[in-house]
Chain A
């Protein structure tokens, strides 16, 4: 198989992992909140897109505006109602967000049933080296790249980003300097949720919407984020690159099951060698 096609698929596999993990990485990396409802944020994003498009809304508007806004709002509400009472209590947060995850799946089932709904992926297809692929997968690579650069830019170069980083590094000090840290936490969580919502909406034309679709992503997202370590952006990109490349190559030369096993095996080895994640050892001064 052609090297151009192979590299395209490698980049796509990495982009998929980045896209579906970044929202979780921000919430976990910056706030140390283990959000078990991450998969359901993706699911709500997907449903928002599918239902909006079926109601006649423009697909791009639904994908890039409505879905992130809806899921961001859900995230904001969750932080205010539940998460903010549990900062610093990791086990309690796990339990609480797991409950939220089950409740959201139940709610979606009750509202929409369990049949898969879908929309047609726009943009059509192209031919590369005799192989057909969709322009939509190019879009996924573009969105993942834009999200990483955008998040990095906001954190590094804006006042908002500076305030967020200050709060995450030393909340009592930030508060002493006159910051409303509770508001920063709420908006950071909402931003993470909005990114997950966007990711879910971007994936929906390829996977359809169904209440349990989150489970198809959440395991890999957690493995990526935990292996990535404390620095949300760098960690996610580096871990996604390692896992995406390995599982893609093994899937190609062996089977999809072997690809999945290879990913898990690599995660075990990496976490044995670097218990606090890749960015706990390397790239420690990155974001």
Chain B
């Protein structure tokens, strides 16, 4: 560490201002033996609503761990980079984290494209990587852990619920790239398994913001329910146009993605009421452990809405910390081994277990309906496992696999 006189007096002064003297001595102790963890987040640009929450929750989690005495008796320190919603920066900052900052683990990333930029960089550098977004499924890499919701998590709860409660005919909307395309395949398969049918599929370019024709096509097909896998603000236009057309409430509307950045809080309730979502976490979950988490998070001064994308970042940190504690070491192989020992943690929303074969997580999934800017839980599926890569990915048998499979659906 490069400590000059000005920085030293600065840290001394801030230490005196911010903390009692005990804090100062721990600061002095900390500097030699801190554990550096990397955080690569889109803090600016279009993806910042995701990045900011993730950054906040990592800081919150690290403060919790440090307050409880650190990890292996050593305090954690976050080195964070703002990737500015720009994929090129992921490669650069991934390198810096590994080579210059000597981070022992890395968290973050929003889009799948960004993940596929940084994942090989971190794998080469032997820095375990946690990617914590809802995504299309299929990544199989021993160096990577994926805590987010995949289509097989969400759709296996949504599709049976819609068929049982609304009817057999489903209409599928989504973004026209692998997430939307794979989700459409899942819905076809699940609909067939549960005695339903898909009466229409429509996938859109990312900048499509006019859904007039689609709404007419939906009416022509007369489905009982719609499932969307929309991505981005242009697609968010659908909800307003759906409500304006007078179709809202006449056909059930479910989404795999709605609410990921707190859309239900900012959009008018005349538009959002009744939208059905399915995910593993939302801030409003009525559980004592979750209430306590949210209270502590607010008390720490964080104001952002906590969605599944934020919570799964926190879960990633806790999973990694649990693995390090279990391994008793920061050594990559020891930590990976601990991660693959049927590890589970008690998160604010219940138990989260890591599947050793796929490095994806098993957790409860909640199906809820938006109601006046909040959620009303309709249904819960216990301990749902990601099955996107069944028969393709087994990291226990083949630890050297390193690819993103196209799920066989």
A interface residues, Cβ below 8 angstroms from B: 1, 5, 9, 12-13, 16, 109, 113-121, 124-126, 130-134, 136-137, 205-208, 210-213, 215-217, 219, 248, 251-252, 255-257, 260
**Are A205's CB and B210's CB within 8 A?**
no
**Are A9's CB and B219's CB within 8 A?**
no
**Are A115's CB and B203's CB within 8 A?**
no
**Are A117's CB and B266's CB within 8 A?**
yes
Residues of A within 8 A of B237 (CB): 206-208, 216
Chain A's nearest CB lies how many Å from the CB of B163? Answer: 24
Count B interface residues, CB 8 Å: 44
Residues of B within 8 A of A114 (CB): 46-49, 233, 261
Given A9-B216, A125-B245, A216-B207, A118 contacting B271 (CB threshold 8 A): yes
**Are A205's CB and B240's CB within 8 A?**
yes
**Are A256's CB and B203's CB within 8 A?**
yes
B220 at the interface (CB under 8 A from A): yes
Q: What 1/0 mask marks residues of chain B from 233 to 244 whose CB sits below 8 Å from any chain A CB?
A: 110110111011
B116 at the interface (CB under 8 A from A): no
Q: How many angstroms from the CA of A131 to the CA of B245 in the assembled complex?
A: 9
**Are B234's CB and A121's CB within 8 A?**
no
Q: What 1/0 mask marks residues of chain B from 381 to 406 whose CB sits below 8 Å from any chain A CB?
A: 00000000000000000000000000
Residues of A within 8 A of B213 (CB): 9, 13, 248, 251-252, 256
6 A-B pairs within 8 Å (CB atoms) are namely A1-B216, A109-B45, A133-B215, A212-B233, A216-B234, A219-B207
Smallest CB gap from A249: residue in B: B213
Q: How many angstroms from the CA of A251 to the CA of B243 in the assembled complex?
A: 21
Identify which of B213, B215, B217 gathers the most chain A CB atoms within 10 Å of its CB. Answer: B213
Given A12-B212, A114-B48, A120-B271, A208 contacting B202 (CB threshold 8 A): no
Q: How many angstroms from the CA of A210 to the CA of B234 in the assembled complex?
A: 9
Identify which of A1, A125, A133, A219 gathers the most chain B CB atoms within 10 Å of its CB. Answer: A133
Given A1-B220, A13-B212, A252-B213, A132 contacting B247 (CB threshold 8 A): yes
**Are A213's CB and B266's CB within 8 A?**
no
Q: How many angstroms from the CA of A263 to the CA of B296 in the assembled complex?
A: 53
Smallest CB gap from A259: residue in B: B213
Given A114-B48, A255-B202, A131 contacting B243 (CB threshold 8 A): no
**Are A131's CB and B246's CB within 8 A?**
no
Residues of A within 8 A of B219 (CB): 130-132
Given A136-B244, A205-B240, A252-B217, A115 contacting B46 (CB threshold 8 A): no
Given A115-B266, A132-B246, A133-B216, A206 contacting B240 (CB threshold 8 A): yes
Residues of B within 8 A of A134 (CB): 241, 244-246
Given contacts A118-B268, A124-B246, 17 further A-B contacts (CB under 8 A): A113-B49, A114-B261, A118-B240, A120-B244, A131-B216, A132-B245, A132-B247, A132-B250, A134-B241, A207-B234, A213-B209, A213-B233, A216-B209, A252-B213, A255-B203, A256-B208, A257-B176
Residues of B within 8 A of A131 (CB): 216, 219-220
B263 at the interface (CB under 8 A from A): yes
B204 at the interface (CB under 8 A from A): yes
Chain B's nearest CB lies how many Å from the CB of A71? Answer: 19
Given A1-B216, A256-B204, A120 contacting B268 (CB threshold 8 A): yes
B120 at the interface (CB under 8 A from A): no
Q: How many angstroms from the CA of A257 to the CA of B177 in the assembled complex?
A: 11
Residues of B within 8 A of A119 (CB): 268
Residues of B within 8 A of A252 (CB): 213, 216-217
B214 at the interface (CB under 8 A from A): yes
Smallest CB gap from B236: residue in A: A116
B23 at the interface (CB under 8 A from A): no
**Are B262's CB and A115's CB within 8 A?**
yes
Chain B's nearest CB lies how many Å from the CB of A223? Answer: 13
B267 at the interface (CB under 8 A from A): yes
Q: How many angstroms from the CA of A252 to the CA of B208 in the assembled complex?
A: 14
Chain B's nearest CB lies how many Å from the CB of A49? Answer: 13
Q: How many angstroms from the CA of A5 to the CA of B263 in the assembled complex?
A: 32
Q: What 1/0 mask marks residues of chain B from 244 to 288 whose CB sits below 8 Å from any chain A CB?
A: 111100100000000001110011101100000000000000000
B328 at the interface (CB under 8 A from A): no
B73 at the interface (CB under 8 A from A): no
Chain A's nearest CB lies how many Å from the CB of B254? Answer: 19
B195 at the interface (CB under 8 A from A): no
Chain B's nearest CB lies how many Å from the CB of A189? Answer: 26
Smallest CB gap from A125: residue in B: B246
Find B263's partner among A115, A133, A217, A248 (CB 8 Å cutoff).
Answer: A115
B205 at the interface (CB under 8 A from A): yes
Find B240's partner among A13, A125, A207, A255 (CB 8 Å cutoff).
Answer: A207
Given A9-B213, A133-B216, A213-B233, A205 contacting B244 (CB threshold 8 A): yes
Q: How many angstroms from the CA of A247 to the CA of B393 in the assembled complex?
A: 42
Q: How many angstroms from the CA of A257 to the CA of B204 in the assembled complex?
A: 6
Find B244's partner among A5, A125, A248 (CB 8 Å cutoff).
Answer: A125
Residues of A within 8 A of B45 (CB): 109
Smallest CB gap from B85: residue in A: A114
Smallest CB gap from B219: residue in A: A131
Residues of A within 8 A of B48 (CB): 109, 113-114
Residues of B within 8 A of A213 (CB): 209, 233-234
**Are B49's CB and A115's CB within 8 A?**
yes
Chain A's nearest CB lies how many Å from the CB of B175? Answer: 11
**Are A118's CB and B267's CB within 8 A?**
yes
Smallest CB gap from A252: residue in B: B213
Smallest CB gap from B51: residue in A: A114
Residues of B within 8 A of A248 (CB): 213
**Are B261's CB and A121's CB within 8 A?**
no
Identify which of B47, B246, B247 gathers the most chain A CB atoms within 10 Å of its CB. Answer: B246
Chain A's nearest CB lies how many Å from the CB of B83? Answer: 15
Q: What 1/0 mask marks residues of chain B from 113 to 155 whose CB sits below 8 Å from any chain A CB?
A: 0000000000000000000000000000000000000000000
Chain A's nearest CB lies how many Å from the CB of B211? Answer: 9
Q: How many angstroms from the CA of A255 to the CA of B203 in the assembled complex?
A: 7
Give the residues from 1 to 58 in chain B that come closer than 8 angstroms, CB to CB, to chain A: 44-49
**Are A120's CB and B217's CB within 8 A?**
no
**Are B209's CB and A120's CB within 8 A?**
no
Residues of B within 8 A of A109 (CB): 44-45, 48
Residues of B within 8 A of A210 (CB): 233, 236
